[in-house]
Amino acid sequence: MTPRERVLQAIDHRETDRVPIQIYLTPEMHGSLVERFAGRSPIEVFEVDIRGIAAPYVGPARKPPPIATGKAELYDEWGIGYSAVANATGGVYHEASDLTLARLQTMDEVERYPWPNPDDYDYSAIPDAIARERPFCVHAGHAGAPDIINGVSRGRGMEQVLCDIALQDEVGCAIIDHRVDFYYEVLKRTLEAGRGEIDILWLGEDLGTQNGPVISPATFDAFFRPRLQRFIDLAHHYGARAAMHSCGSTRALQPRLIEMGLDLLDAVQPEPAGMDPEELKREFGDRLAYCGMISTQETLPHGTVEQCREEARHRLRVIAKGGGYIFSPAHCIQPDTPVENVVAIYEEALGRPLE
């Protein structure tokens, strides 16, 4: 069975020769694993079945927008500034430090803002990119597309974005829709260029907290559902499965995601309220496939090797039964995680020791 066949068959809720494998790593953890395996990539060692492709950027050099302070270390395509911030695990994340979108106060300012342009990408490179990644399962998109709450919050502030949504603020909603429309057009052109060979359209929207959904089901239906439905329908139009990353407790919203046609829910943290893997499998597992469920919050960083093995065995024995599961950590594995714990879970997934 090829990696592509393995992943698609699992998403379609059918048994596979072995569980499909995915991985998420911080750069620091990636480096530790490369060292552990004498220079070999963990993607290779752990036999990860999925690869991502994207149209390369060919537009003009990016520069901060006129309303930026210019004090951030780098600016992204949205004109948002970032600075490196060390965390307690020994890693470094680039956190938003120049919230340029918060300075947009009028619709005129929104329309004058230098938004990213879908024309600035070379979609003709997509067929060759797909060919290079075969026989692996190929996905387009990522957890940041459209990523309304987090993505816009980095430039506007979380509180402001949630207020924009709740109050249907004209300026805030226009900013959100600039992001949604940009990613829709980029991914549409990518799928078109892929000519039916892109297997998964990967989306993202963090809908959960540790205790429940970020927003009410009514708000999801009124605001998020129509925007996300466009992407799910787009995936299916081009013969791709639709996957979506979401951290936190999403159980209350999963029936809606199923109604919308979502094929795969990614990350699936086991710790938040209502996210017990066995319960999710029992309640939704015949209609929704899952990727994740290996704890990056508790077991991997704080458990013993044997506890990590047991959690992996449980997911393989119970959650992967009958298909519908991709073996993966629930988020990026952090630098404070013992390397041997990571090796242990993938040895269980592969069914053999790793040298």
Count CB neighbours of 92 within 10 A.
14
Q: What is the mean pLDDT of residues 219-233?
A: 98
Model confidence pLDDT, tens digit, residues 183-199? 999 999 999 999 999 99
Task: Read off the pLDDT of residues 72-84 as tens digits, 9 standing for 90 and up.
Answer: 999 999 999 999 9
Mean of the pLDDT values across residues 107-119? 98
Q: Is the pLDDT of residue 324 over 90?
A: yes
Contacts of 135 (CB under 8 A, 6+ apart): 2, 3, 4
pLDDT for residue 339: 98
Q: Find the helix or strand (DSSP H, E) in which 240 lies.
A: none
Q: At what angle do helices 339-350 and 27-36 cross, to 10 degrees?
A: 70
Give the domain ranges of the chain: 3-59+117-350, 63-106
pLDDT of res. 89: 85
Q: Looking up tokens 């879908």, which residue turns up?
A: 118
* Structure tokens, 36: 């552990």
Topology of domain 3-59+117-350, per CATH?
TIM Barrel (3.20.20)
pLDDT at 76: 97
- Determine what percent of the chain is predicted with pLDDT higher than 70: 100
Q: What tens digit of pLDDT does each residue of 267-305 get?
A: 999 999 999 999 999 999 999 999 999 999 999 999 999
pLDDT at 90: 87
Which of 60, 57, 13, 22 is CA-nearest to residue 42?
Answer: 22
Phi and psi dihedrals of 154, rounded to 5? Answer: -65, -25
pLDDT tens digit string along 163-177?
Answer: 999 999 999 999 999
Please check the confidence at residue 101 and state whether its pLDDT lies above 90.
yes
In the predicted model, what is the mean pLDDT of the chain?
97
d(CA 3, CA 212): 34
Model pLDDT for residues 233-272, shown as the tens digit of each residue: 999 999 999 999 999 999 999 999 999 999 999 999 999 9
The predicted model scores a pTM of: 0.97
Q: What is the pLDDT of residue 177?
A: 98
- 355 — pLDDT class (breaks 50, 70, 90): confident
For the four alpha carbons of 254, 256, 262 and 263, in that order, the dihedral sign comes to positive
